[in-house]
Structures are given as structure tokens and as C-alpha cells.
Structure 1
């Protein structure tokens, strides 16, 4: 019986086990302790920021980051339409309203020229733009060289959603370090995991202190329980931080494994007309997920055809994110579109990309794709 091959399963082993057991035996099992502090410091060093605050999820980190840059009820916050729903949901948590902007058709990251146009439109009618939230899609950083001046000129804070991009960089600068604050995610399917968890990273010590305070139910420094404002139960546990510390030791190894797999996909699809890999071509991506964009008119088949063929072999794939402006929960939301995100959703497919995939599993995936391509009209000679 063959085992299922998943898109991006957790990659954990003996090192992670040893760290978690040591944390258990230390007695620090609550959302406080030496592993938590050490994990924050290590992530801040990796991101090249002055500090970090570990929380229960990337979504929690986004919520606190938006509050930290001053987003208020009634503001608008500009969010890419091609993203996971958490990016938009966190905006709603603050009482602000997400306005969606389309993506670059090659990378899936935000279209910076379109972003600039949207800022002008919103400003022209007197909207207060609380923040711009660029998302580093599939592990490849946004073009921050172009984006940051646009936001700086408009006086709008940037909250970098680097949930998918830990270990990636843009022109040598680490993901998470762009803008006033960045956020990371350690969900079970991410490049490294703490089971569930997230992190704010920033050079703004006051913002981080505020986030830390709010993440612990906004408890005041008194012997009794004193609360002057509404806080949140968002702190990461010491046990999960211990898991994260072990994962961080192995991060470069896991990125290298995903990059090698992406290169093998690139080689496999290179002779196929109408198929290209999405993003990640600058050598600075962490290659979290490898996706392809398929032009049916050129190659004679649809992304869903390949997905169905792989599903028959118990191999998981997934469409590219369904754009936010197409989601029922955001029906009627304001947006500025070119159609790029809709095309990627219709024509894109994300392939198994996990670093935990062994060579037999990788071979099985590549062979299944090869078998599919061999049956298509005009299949290239191999």
C-alpha cells in the first residue's frame, strides 16, 4: 500500500524530540521560559532585526502588528488579493477595512505599480490608509526596492507578511526585516514549524513591547491581576518554542532540500511549452512551495488535469490561493485588479514541496508527472 504524499508535511526528527523533552523536564511548559526567550532572540538574529515577540500564530502576529503601526477602526488597509485569508482577516480584527490589489503575473507578489495607483485613488477621496501589507508569496520576497519608496513617499507604514518566507531574502536582506514590522508563521506546513505559532520581528522596540503586553492579556506589572485595556491570549508556549529552536538549527538544510526539489521540477517542465514555475527565480527564495502556471492553449492541458492525475496516485496538490476578492466572506470588497490573480488561480497548481520528502517519494512524484506529460498531445521527446 502506497502512502500519501503531502504538499508540505512537517519535517521533524530526533533533534526536535531532544529539545522538546529537555523543555518538558525543565518544568517550563507555560507561555514563559528560557526556550521562549532564546527562540525570540535567535529569530531576531536570523531576520536581522532588533527584536522579536513569539505568539500563538502568524494571524495573531498580523493582528498585533497592525495595532502596533496604529491601524484603527475606519481605516483602510491595502492587502494583496492573492494571499491566504488570514492577511485580510487580521485587518478586520482591528475594525479596519481591507482593500485588495492585484499581483504580478510572474511572481504572484503584489503589483507595485498598481499599488501606487491604488494609494493615489484612495488618498484622492480622503481615505486614511492605515497600512500596506505586502505578502511574500510561496517563499519569495516582494520587490521591496520598488515598494518601500512608494509607501514612504505616501507616509504609510508597511507590515510585511513574511509568513511563507522565513529564510528568504531580497537583495541580501532577510525576509521579515522590511517595513516597520514583519511577521512570520510556524504553522505545521511552513518552512519550519512549532506546530502552531508566529512571530513579530522589528527594530521598533516600543512596538514590540506593546505587542508583548497585549499578547499576555494586557496584564499590568502588579502582584494581583490588573488590566487597564483589552488584551489577547496570544503568547507562544515554551514547549513550542523549544521545537522552534531545533527547527531553526536545521532551517538552512530544509531550505536546501526544497530548493533542490524545485530545481528538479524546473528541469522536468523546461521542455514543456506553456508551463512555467511561479516566482523563486532570483536564488533568494526559500522555495517553501513550488507552483506552476499552465497555459492550456499552448500545452493542450489544464492544471486541474495534472492535479487529478496526481490525486489518482495519492499525491497531494493544490490550486494557487483563491483571490480574496472572489471569497464569499469578502464579496463586494473594494479592489483594483488586472486579472493576474484570477489567472493564476485558474491556471496554477502547487506541487509537493516538503523537505521531509525522501528520494523514493520524490521519484514517485516526478515519475507520475512524467507519465502524465507523455500522454499529452505534442509531448516533448525525452
Structure 2
């Protein structure tokens, strides 16, 4: 347990407290957070007959058990079912709308949700139709629930469509697409294979993040930053391999030192990282050390369905293990808002107008329960 910090607010937030806190989510996959009941409905409507079960509760358990595999490759396999039912405009719009509702109900005020448009073309949709359907769902969600959601268009590492998706992200960046991402199996598919797409995005002053340091080690992080110019790192867990702890002394290697000095955000997803084997447990997750060393760490869900989690539950696990308090919760949240792919003034408005006042009110309520 850590020593008390001067002025530390001592009351540990409960899960209900965390749900009420204004939070920010940067790493969440649209096809990894579909409601099980929606998967069943969409499968029935579309004629998709490959689900392991049509009972929503049993299906929820199946997704979590299948994803809890110990490797990134096996973790990704259940996505064939959620992706399989998201092949129409109506399905994509519904999933995006429900995603916005679920995130808003968890107290999230701003989120960036990513998906791979190329995975939703099997029924004849165009890339543009996919993007517009998702944007429509999130726009309706914003009108009804007040949550703002920016989308990230993801290209798959093992496909040759990254330039096409990058251009799509630039085309729709004034309509709600805030950036680009590349994901999929890391081993054997380094980000430099898509260097032309990243060079194009930089020329267009567009934002992008790269999945790196999850299923592969330091070389993927180094390439994502130094060759490709990533604004953020998706996961980045293996940066811990460049940090040596010897008793009370901690030494950072050149890459880790660079990541910290440049304030490169790490989109960490604790439960998912344990499921894929990137971390052995929540207690042993590198987020604890990286937080203490002052890295730009953010907390995320990755895939709410597969990891059977919410952002509030991710925070609750970290609070339980690392004895985090309100100040830590706010620190992670401000980190995420600072790192969002929104214009500076809009980020500042959310930090100073929503996040900090929201946390201040929650702290005051806990300190004065009878007021």
C-alpha cells in the first residue's frame, strides 16, 4: 500500500461512485461491445446461423470464456460472430446507438470507439455506407444521451487496405471520425508494412493510434513511434520490458524514457491485457508502476463484451489492487481527455467544464454525506 500523499482525499471510491464520475474512454472496439441480446436478434434477422447459443446470458458467458485465452490470436476469434451479424446499415446503426447508450449509462462523457469498416462488407455494403451507418447511430446516441463519441477507423495489419481506410478517415474527419487505427495480430505483421498510410495521415495532419506492445514486444512499440509517428499507443504494455527495477532504484531504457518524456499516451486495458497474456494479473499489470513513474497512462475497456467489463469496473479493479483514490481516478481521466483526438479547446472545455467540476462535486458529497 502506498504512503499517504499530502492532501490526499482518503475515502476510496466505490463502484457506484465511479459510475457517477465523468469518465473518458479512448480504446473501445465497436464489435467487442455488442449486447448479447442484440447479437441474437441480429443473427435471427440476418439468417446468421453460426452462433454457439441463442440464449443471451449463455452467449455472454461464452464470449468471455472464449476470449479468456492467454493469447491475442485466440482472443480475437470470437469476433467472427459479432462481426458476422454487423453486415447491414440497420445493424451497424443499432449497435452504435446501443454502444452510446451503454457508455453514457456508465458515466462516460466522451469516448472514442473504433471499428474496421472492411469487416462489414460481406452483404454488399460500401465502405462509405458502413462509416455513415455508424456515424448515424452515434449521432442519435448523442442527441438522446448527451454523450459525445468520436470514431476511429481501423485497418487490419494482415490486409493491404490501410491506405484506403486512411483516406476514408480523412474524408469523414469533419463528420465524427476523429482518427485512424491499425489492429490485429502483431507477430509477423509489423506496423511499418503500412508506412505509406501513416505518411499520408501525417501529411494530412490527421491523428492515429497503433496497436503495439500487446501481442509483441518493444520492437513493435519502437516502430509505431519512430517509424510510423503514432500519436498514441494501443495498449503499449510491453514498454515495461524497457524498465528495470532493482529494489528502490528504477532505471528506464532509452525507449521507455522517450515515451515518458514525449508524453505518448498509453491506452491500457487491464482485464483484456490479462486475457491475452500481455499481463499475468491485475495486481502484476504494468499500469501500477507506469502510473507511479508518471507515464501518460489511460484506462480503457478494449472489448466490453469479451472482457465482461465496463470502464467503471476496470477502475474498481485498479482501486482495489493499487489502493487508488479520487485523485488517481481524476488523474487517469484527465490523462485520457488530454490525449483525445479532439481540438485543444474542446478538450480543455471538457476538462475544466465537466470533468474537474464533476469530480469536485463527488468528493464533496462523499466528505459531507449528511449535507
TM value normalised by structure 1: 0.27
TM value normalised by structure 2: 0.28
Structure exhibiting the larger radius of gyration computed from Cα positions: 1
Q: Which has the higher helix share?
A: 2
By relative contact order (CA 8 Å, sep 6+), the higher-ranking structure is: 1
